[in-house]
Amino acid sequence: MFSLSELQRAAAVVGSHLPATPQLHWPLLSQRAGASVWVKHENHLPTGAFKVRGGVMLAHRLQQAAQDTGRCVPGLISATRGNHGQSLGWAGARFGLPVTIIVPFGNSAEKNAAMKGYGVRLIEHGADFEEARDEANRRAAEEALLFVPSFAPDLVIGVATYALELFQQAPPLDAVYVPIGLGSGICGTILARNLLGLKTQVIGVQSTGADSYARSFSAGQMVPGNRANTKADGIAVRQPDPEALRIILGGAESIITVPDAAIASAIRAYWTDTHNLVEGAGAAPLAALIQDSAATAGKTVGLIASGGNIDLALFRSWVG
C-alpha cells in the first residue's frame, strides 16, 4: 500500500501536529500476563484515541490537493461510534474543513459531546454503525460532501505511524495485540512491521459478540456478519472491509475473540495496575493476552491501548 519512505514522511506530517505517544513497560501488567508487557498509549493523544493520526493525514492530503488544483473540498462526512468522528472533527478544525458525522441512536453521550466540541455537525440515524454509514453515504451525494470511510489509504498510513513509533522505540517484540474495529489499526501495524522487516507476530482482537473478522480469517475469505453485540463500541462492527481483510489475511498471525466480561476485567486491570483509563476496544488486547498467556509466557509483547474514551456510567458498570 505504501513504502517505508512514505511512512516516514507521514510520521513527519503527523508529528508536526501531534505529540508522539509513549510505549511503556508496566511491571504489574507483566506479572498479571506472565509476559514482558509494553503498552502503546494511544489513549494519551489529544482526542484520546489513535484515529486522529489518520484524520491529520487525510486533512493534510486534501490541503495539498487543494493547493495543487485550486479546488477545495466543501466538507467531510462520515459515520462513527466516536473515535473516527473525533479524529475528523479535530483535524477538520485545524485544517478549515467542515465536518458532518452520523452516529447511531444510543451512541455514547460523552463521545457525541466531544465531537460537537470540535465543531462537528452531529446527526443521529440508525440502530448501529452500518445503518449510520449508509445514511452518511446518502447525505454525501445529496449535499455534495466528501464521504470519508473508516478504512482508507490516507487513514491507514496515518495510524501506521503509531506502529512505527512502537517498533522503533520498544525492545524487539515477539508479538503485538491489536484491536480490530474496521481494520485501519491492525493493517497499519502489519504494514509497518513488514516495511521494517520485523518478525513480530501481529494478533488481532475482537469481541465474541462482534467477530466478523475472526470468522472471515478462519474461513480465509469474507464471511458476512450480522451482529455487533458488545459494549466495546470501538470494535462493534458487523461487516469486514474487503481491503482490510485482504491485508489481515496476508499478515496477521491470528485473531482472538474475547467476551465482554474479559474486556471489563482488562479495563479494571489497566486502572489498578497503571492508573490509565482505557476504553473497551483499547482494553481488548490485554484481555486477549491474558487469555493467550500459555502461548506468550516469558515473551516480550506489545499491546495497543487504542483509546481511552469511555463513558463514566459504562466504566462504572464494567469495573464497579
pLDDT in tens, 253-272: 999 999 999 999 999 999 99
Order of strands, sheet of 23-25, starting from the edge strand that comes earlier in the sequence: 23-25, 36-41, 300-305, 175-179, 201-207, 254-258
* More confident position, 232 or 174: 174
Note the Cα 70 to chain centre separation in Å. Answer: 32
Q: How confident is the model at residue 19 (pLDDT cuts 50, 70, 90)?
A: very high
Fold of 4-50+153-319: Rossmann fold (3.40.50)
Give the per-residue SS3 of 182-220: CCHHHHHHHHHHHHCCCCCEEEEEEECCECHHHHHHHHC
- Which residue matches cell numbers 483499547? 282
Q: Locate 59 and state its grid cell.
A: 486533512
**pTM over the 0.85 mark:** yes
Q: Is the pLDDT of residue 198 over 90?
A: yes
Choose among 257, 244, 250: nearest CA to 288.
Answer: 257
Euclidean distance between CA atoms 74 and 307, whole angstroms: 29
Find the helix or strand (DSSP H, E) in which 287 lies. helix 280-291
- 52-147 belongs to which CATH class? alpha beta
Over residues 158-177, mean pLDDT: 98
Predicted local confidence at residue 312, as pLDDT: 86
Q: Locate 76 and state its grid cell.
A: 467531510
Q: Are 248 and 186 spatial neighbours (Cβ–Cβ below 8 Å)? A: yes
Where helices occur in 96-183 by DSSP H, the ranges are: 109-117, 129-143, 153-169
Give yes or no on whether 4-50+153-319 and 52-147 have one common fold: yes
Q: How confident is the model at residue 71 (pLDDT cuts 50, 70, 90)?
A: confident
Q: Domain ranges in the chain?
A: 4-50+153-319, 52-147
Euclidean distance between CA atoms 301 and 292, whole angstroms: 11
Q: Is the pLDDT of residue 20 over 90?
A: yes
DSSP code string of 137-152: HHHHHHHT-EE--SS-
